[in-house]
A and B are shown apart, each in its own frame.
Chain A
Amino acid sequence: MMVKEPQISLLGTRALLFEAPGETSLTTQWRIWSLAREVDTWPEVSEAVPGVNNLLVSFSVPPRSLAPLETRLHSAWDAATPMILQGRTIELPVVYGGEGGPHMADVVAHTGLCPHEIAEIHASPLYPVYAIGSHPGYCYLGGMDARIATPRRKVPVLKLPGGAVSIGGSQTGVSASAGPSGWNTIGTTSTTFFDASRDPPVLLQPGDSIRFRIVEVVR
């Protein structure tokens, strides 16, 4: 849902959600990152976590009164200038199709393209990491070519392995660990995205970019 003004809503007493107005865009996301950096320093805030076009603000201690915090959030948003993070570009080698891409056939059926074309289109853009979430080390990526957009699966797959490269609607992403997913898996990569013993534990952070490299398209 698109809103005209920033919206603030409660997630119980643990957090609130700040939603930026307008369409999803990298420019808005740059302002979200800027807002996150500012809000993260506030004493009553435990963590400010960017989502796609929005910011989760979790409380260290819930404030007695919400109004002053809301006012500060609105002014911080108005003052937030786009923060263009100089992230790294990580190249991910992907084997498209075959055993590691069990739903390639569904994307072929939906788009009318052949697996080679799908892999080429998927591996062309430089994908900015918009946000981290869903599970440890998972990244929400922006900028997938609309030609390969494919609706989420009607029945989610219960256990998708880590490294699964998949398409859900107009979004794409790589699962960082085994788990359920409703997205269409078109390939697989062997890169490790999350390791709790590293600091930071995640390979990618907002501001970084991903480029997929075609290792092979299995027929």
Chain B
Amino acid sequence: MMEILSKSALTTIQDRGRFGALKWGVGTAGAMDGLALACGNLLLGNSEDAAAIEIQVFPFEARFDCEAEIALTGATCEASIDGKVILPWSSIQAKAGSVLRLGLTRSARWRGSRAYVCVAGGIDVPIVLGSRSTQLRGAIGGLEGRALQQGDRLPFGQPNGARRASDGTSIVPPSFALPLIVDGLPAARVLPAAEYHCFKPESQSDLWLKPWKVTPQSDRYGYRLSGSVLEPVAPMELRSHGIVPGVIQVPHGGQPIVQMCDAQPSGGYPKIGTVIEADLWRLGQAPIGSSIRFIETDWDGALHALDEVSRWLSEVARCLDLAKARKASS
């Protein structure tokens, strides 16, 4: 078990997401940086559907009741355990009574905005409609369907002894291993969506050529961006239809909103494009106030990007196995 000591708002339990419940109006939720979660689970030998803690307001503090192997991934922050500095993207052994503290995110070239605390065996809350992810609207999943509070105690699942990284093993973060930068800004690839061609040609080119600022009204539900005004050729009224995380809607004001993990599963605003699944983690780590760029892609490009991510994850798994074997033989 671990106990939350800090009053960090908006901290939630997330896994890969809830799939198969759209028909009941239940969106996917899930980690905003699915790649960071996947790496944390790899470091600990967890199954890929294990849940972790997603932290987006710092500092965060928690105490472990028992010995536990933990991994820290996602945003680079000043992290320590019992005052001893720990490296991000690595696993470490926590002793019974250890206090984990995550300070502010570092303002490095890439700083990210969400950190993940993963534990061997995963955070063991009940599976609701196929997932442990917290879905605030409807109050399901996670711990009582809500954000974590000071004093909450979280149980762990059974660690998988078969494949655990050795203490201190670390992963090269995906922001370095799989960079995507345009004119010095982090970028994400976008597939044009149904109403793309209903926007003025200059708006279409602005989508690809102009920077988009992540405004303070951005959260797990959606990123409200500011930049050029995207204008349709004529006003559009759409009927309600299903949407997924990544969809870029353009309401009447012309400022795009990217639907993120907690997005409602249906909508009616015109859609200019969709941030591809393979790049959603990049957006999930874009801090408020930063700017991003969009890159146009097509179906083959989007599939290639997905393949690239899964190849990289396999390579990470292979390297962790090698590191473990080396340690065992030495």
Is chain B a partner of chain A in the same complex?
yes
The residues of A with any CB-CB pair to B shorter than 8 Å are: 1, 7, 9-15, 17, 19, 24, 46-47, 49, 51-56, 58, 62, 64, 66, 131-138, 140, 176-177, 179, 194, 196, 200-202
A-facing mask of B273-297, CB < 8 A → 1, else 0? 0111110000000000000000000
Add 6 more A-B contacts to A7-B194, A66-B299, A136-B24 (CB < 8 A): A12-B246, A13-B191, A54-B239, A133-B25, A176-B25, A202-B25
Complex Cα distance, B238 from A53, in Å, reads 10
Residues A179 and B137 in contact, CB atoms below 8 Å apart: yes
Q: Which of B15-23, B174-182, B320-328 contacts A (4 or more CB under 8 A)?
A: B15-23
Contact (Cβ within 8 A) A49 B265: yes
Specify which chain A residues have a CB less than 8 angstroms from the CB of B239 in the assembled complex: 24, 51-54
Which residue from chain B places its CB closest to the CB of A40 in the assembled complex? Answer: B23
Interface string of B129-152 (1 = CB under 8 A from A): 100000101111000000000000
Q: Lowest 5 CB-CB distances: which A-B pairs, in order?
A: A56-B242, A133-B266, A136-B138, A9-B194, A12-B274
Is B236 interfacial (CB-CB < 8 Å)?
A: yes
* Neighbouring B residues of A179 by C-beta, 8 Å: 137
Beta-carbon contacts of B6-41 to A below 8 Å, as 1s and 0s?
Answer: 000000000000011111111000000000000000
B24 touches A200 (CB 8 A): yes
Contact B302 A12 (CB under 8 A): yes
Say whether B266 contacts A136, CB under 8 Å: no
Determine whether the beta carbon of B242 is less than 8 Å from that of A202. no
Contact A58 B25 (CB under 8 A): no
Binding site for A on B (CB under 8 A): 19-26, 128-129, 135, 137-140, 191-194, 198, 236-247, 264-266, 271, 274-278, 299, 302-303, 306
* A135 partner, pick from B20, B25, B193, beta carbons under 8 A: B25
A56 with B241: in contact, given A10-B299, A135-B138, A194-B24 (CB under 8 Å)?
A: yes
A11-B274 in contact (CB<8A): yes
A132–B266 Cα gap in the complex (Å)?
Answer: 9
Instruction: List chain B residues, Cβ under 8 A from A52.
Output: 239-241
Residues of A within 8 A of B20 (CB): 46-47
Quick one: which of B139, B265, B275, B299 contacts A177, CB cutoff 8 A?
B139
State whether A132 and B299 are in contact (beta carbons under 8 Å apart), knowing that A9-B194, A176-B138 are contacts in the complex. Answer: no
Whether B138 pairs with A58 at a CB distance below 8 angstroms is no
A202/B24 in contact, CB under 8 A? yes
Chain B residues near A137 (CB-CB < 8 A): 24-25, 138
Residues in chain A near residue B19, CB distance under 8 A: 46-47, 58
- Docked pose: A47 CA to B24 CA in angstroms: 11
A49 touches B138 (CB 8 A): no
Contact of B241 with A17 in the complex, beta carbons under 8 Å:
yes
Q: A13-B191, A202-B24 are in contact. Are A135 and B264 (CB under 8 A)?
A: yes
A134–B266 touching, CB < 8 Å: yes
Q: Which of B135, B237, B299, B306 has the most A CB atoms < 10 Å from its CB?
A: B299
A9 to B: closest C-beta gap in Å: 4
**Are A51 and B138 in contact (CB-based, < 8 A)?**
no
Q: Assess the B23–A136 pair: CB atoms within 8 A.
A: no
Residues of B within 8 A of A53 (CB): 239
Residues in B with CB closer than 8 Å to A55 are 242
Q: Given A13-B276, A14-B244, verify A132-B191 contact (CB < 8 Å).
A: no
A136 touches B22 (CB 8 A): no
- Minimum C-beta distance from A128 to chain B (A): 15
A7-B194, A137-B25 given; A13·B302 CB < 8 A: yes
* Smallest CB separation, A164 vs chain B (Å): 14
B238 — nearest CB in chain A belongs to which residue?
A1
Contact B247–A133 (Cβ < 8 Å): no
Task: Jot down 23 A-B pairs with beta carbons below 8 A, ordered by A.
Answer: A7-B194, A10-B274, A11-B242, A13-B277, A13-B278, A13-B299, A13-B306, A17-B242, A19-B194, A47-B19, A49-B242, A49-B265, A52-B240, A56-B243, A56-B244, A58-B244, A66-B299, A136-B24, A136-B26, A137-B138, A140-B240, A196-B140, A201-B26
In-complex Cβ contact of A131 among B129, B240, B275 (8 A): B240
A1-B236 contact given A56-B22, A58-B244, A133-B25, CB 8 Å threshold: yes
- Report the bound CA distance from A179 to B266 in whole Å: 15
Residues in B whose Cβ lies below 8 Å from that of A135? 25, 137-138, 264
CA of A19 to CA of B240, assembled, Å: 11
| A134 and B137 alpha carbons, distance in the complex (Å) | 10
Select one of A10, A51, A201 contacting B129, CB under 8 A.
Answer: A201
Cβ-defined contact, B266 with A58, below 8 A: no
Cross-chain contact B138 with A13 (CB below 8 angstroms): no
> What is the minimal beta-carbon distance from A13 to any residue of chain B, in angstroms?
5
Given contacts A62-B306, A196-B140, contact A133 B240 (CB under 8 A): yes
With most chain B CB atoms within 10 A of its CB, the pick from A19, A134, A202 is: A134
Measured CA separation A15–B276 after assembly (Å): 11
**Closest residue of chain A to B28, judged by CB?**
A14
Shortest CB-to-CB span from A2 to chain B, Å, is 9
Cβ contact within 8 Å between A134 and B265: yes
